[in-house]
Amino acid sequence: MVDRSSPPTGPGRPPLSAASLTLRLTGIAVVVAALAGAFAYVNGTLDPQRLTPKALVNVLEKNNGVHPGFRRNHAKGVCVIGHFESSSQAREYSSAQVFSEARTPVVGRFALPAGNPYAPDNSVPIRSLALRFTQANGQQWRTGMNSMPVFPVGTPEAFYQLQQAQSPDPATGKPNPAAVPAFFGSHPEAAPFLAWIKTAKPSASYATETYNSVNAFYLVNAAGQRQAVRWSMTPVAQDAAGGTAPEGGDFLEKDLVQRLSAGPLRWQLNITLANPGDPVNDASKAWPDGRKVLNAGTLVLESTQPQLNGECRDINYDPLVLPSGIEGSDDPLLAARSAGYARSYLRRTSEVKQLPNAKQESQQ
C-alpha cells in the first residue's frame, strides 16, 4: 500500500519551515493536549454531526497554537534509521514479507505527543515512536505507537469533545478548569487511562520506553486466516526501567544521540494474540493478561537524523499503510488517524515561511 499523500522529495519541492510560539502546556492541559498526539479524526461522513478532519485539526491548532511547517501532532521529534530482524514466530500468522525476510530497512521517528514543537521534554509523560518498514517487494508497513497502554476514549467523537473541553475560552484566553473533569466524569471508559496517567512520569530516555500500537489489527496468513493482534516494541536496554527526567527542555534527543554513539539500540517486537471475545474495535479497553505473545523479531536502530532534513521528514506515518498480510481492524480511531494524518500532512507541506535569519529550513 502506497501513501499517496506524500509527494516526491527533491530540490524542486519547497522546504518546510517553523515559527516561534511560547509554551502553553500546563497542569491538566498538558496531559489532555498530549492526547492529541495519538490521532486526528477524519472521516466526517461516518458521524451524524459530520465531524470532519478540518474541524479536528482546527481544534488541535486552537489548543496547541499554529506552528507552520510542523506536524499538527507529534511536532517535536527526531529521525532514526535502522532495520528489523525477523524471527520465525509470526510467519505462520502473517504472509507479510517483513516477517519472512531476515532484514527489512526502517526509517522511524521518536517524538513527544501534541502539536507544540517547543514543548519541554519533561512536560508530558508520553513518548511516541513511528516506524516505516520498506519490504523488498516495495510494500510498506507504517505504524505509530505510544508509551501509554490504552487510549482514553474509544471514539473520534469523544476525543473531539475532549479537545473542546480543554480549548481556551475566548473571554479569558484559558480553558474552563471544570470542563475536563466534567468530561471524564461523563466518560467512565477513560478509567483505565486515568489510572495509568496518575502514576506515569516523564522518562529520561526514548530508549527505555515500551511503545504500544494501542489499536488492534489483524495478521493474515497465506491461507487467509485472520488473527486479531496488538503489538509493542519492548526495549532491550539494560536500564529499561527508565529514570527520572532531568530538568530542562531538550534532553531526549541528546540522550538518544549519546546512546547510539556507543552502539545500536534494540527493541523486541512483541505481538499479542487476541482471544475470542477480546475487544478489537475499542482502544480504551485493555486485553486481559495471559494472552499468547509472539516474539516477532528485533528492531535495531543505528543512527539519528535531524527532523529538519532527515528521511522521516516527508513520511506520513499513516497506521493504515499496511502490506499484504496485515490488515486494519474496525476500530473507528484507525480510520480517523489515517485521514487526519493526511489532513495534517497537506497543511504542513503547503506552509512556507521565511525565518528571521532569512534561511529557508524544513521542519519535518
CB 330 within 8 A of CB 44: no
Give the residue carrying C-alpha cell 522518562: 203
Catalytic-residue membership of 74: yes
Nearby residues of 135 by Cβ (< 8 Å), 6 or more positions away: 96, 97, 98, 101, 104, 141, 323
Catalytic residue among 67, 74, 83, 187: 74
Expressed in angstroms, the distance from the first to the final Cα of the chain is 22
Amino acid found at 177: P
Complete DSSP assignment for 233-302: EEE--TTTT--BPPSSS--HHHHHHHHHHTS-EEEEEEEEEPPTT--SS-TTSPPPTT--EEEEEEEEEE
Amino acid found at 19: A
185: three-class secondary structure by DSSP: helix
Neighbours of 44 (CB within 10 A): 17
Q: d(Cα 347, Cα 343) in Å, to the nearest integer?
A: 6
CB 53 within 8 A of CB 44: yes
Give the residue carrying C-alpha cell 532484514: 103
The number of CA neighbours under 13 Å toward the Cβ of 98 is 27
By annotation, the residues acting in catalysis are 74
